[in-house]
Amino acid sequence: MDLLVTPFSSNAFMLHALIAGVLVSIACAIAGTFVILRGLAFIGDALAHGVLPGIAVAILVGFPGIIGAAIGAAGMIGGITLITQRSRLSSDTAIGLLFVGMLSLGVVIVSRSNSFSGDLTRILFGEILGIDIPAILIQLAATIVIAALAIICARPFLLLSFDPEQAEVAGFSSRLYHSIMLFMIAITVIVSFQTVGTLLVFGMLIAPAGAGALLARRVEAMMAWAVLFGALSMYFGLLISYHFNLAAGASIVLVTVAIFFIVFVAQNLRSRRLARPQEATHG
């Protein structure tokens, strides 16, 4: 029992990391559920990587990285919207172009500066073991905003995810609520990068919600499973990193991906067991 509790009860930095991680899990579970349902995994990935140049410039000029992440995300969403509305190109094409362009710009900025040796690792993989109280409060505020958006926009978000035309018939603007959904995903990426980094936040968006989708038939249950899986990933990922001296952010995401595949295999085995009696009856 000491192995499971002592790392958090005797180390303030581990406890802060766990609290921040659980808040990230809640935010990513809410946003990730709609990423899965709406088929926005590509834009989630693009946002997670496309904020790199904004963060890099912010650090170079002495501003907080979260401000640069917000500017980078706004540039991504604005560019995607402009290309989609002003040309015949699909949104996937616009996302792909800006994804590659923003990521390349970020790498160029980083490669031209000698001051990024430590900062680059922090940007890409987060600084969960260095989270302080102000960062936790920022994450808490962002999580509350994300949860409020999901509650207020629950009906149009669901209609948009399953039948955009029905959303229009019901009186909801598909374009408006799609933009609000992108805004919610962007907030999740912008704030969560401080904890798990730009490379790993995408895993927290996709894997817990994906595992929840395998188990649940209702959106609320899917979201609840995603929160649970995300929180478990944070807890066990931090424990593994503590006891085996491994990178915390990467350990967390590896655990959440492992949970997804455990659920995936278990569901397939269960489906086969349920199918056998039916095959025997028909036989």
In Å, the largest CA–CA distance within the chain is 73
**Three-state DSSP class for residue 275:** helix
Long-range contacts of 50-53 (CB under 8 A, 24+ apart): 50/75, 50/76, 50/98, 50/99, 50/102, 50/103, 51/76, 51/102, 51/189, 51/190, 51/193, 51/198, 52/102, 52/103, 52/105, 52/106, 52/107, 52/110, 52/123, 52/198, 53/102, 53/105, 53/106, 53/109
Residue 264 has pLDDT above 70, yes or no: yes
Please state, in angstroms and as integers, the Cα–Cα distance from residue 70 to each residue in 7, 56, 65, 269, following that order.
Answer: 33, 12, 9, 43
What average pLDDT is seen over the chain? Answer: 87
Please give the CATH superfamily to which domain 2-272 belongs.
Answer: ABC transporter involved in vitamin B12 uptake, BtuC (1.10.3470.10)
Q: Is 193 exposed, middle or buried (0-12, 13-18, 19+ CB in 10 A)?
A: buried
pTM recorded for the entire structure: 0.88
Tell me what the mean pLDDT of segment 230-242 comes to: 94
Tell me what the mean pLDDT of segment 163-181 comes to: 88
What is the reported pLDDT for 5?
Answer: 87
CB atoms within 10 A of CB 190: 27
| Domain residue extents for the chain | 2-272
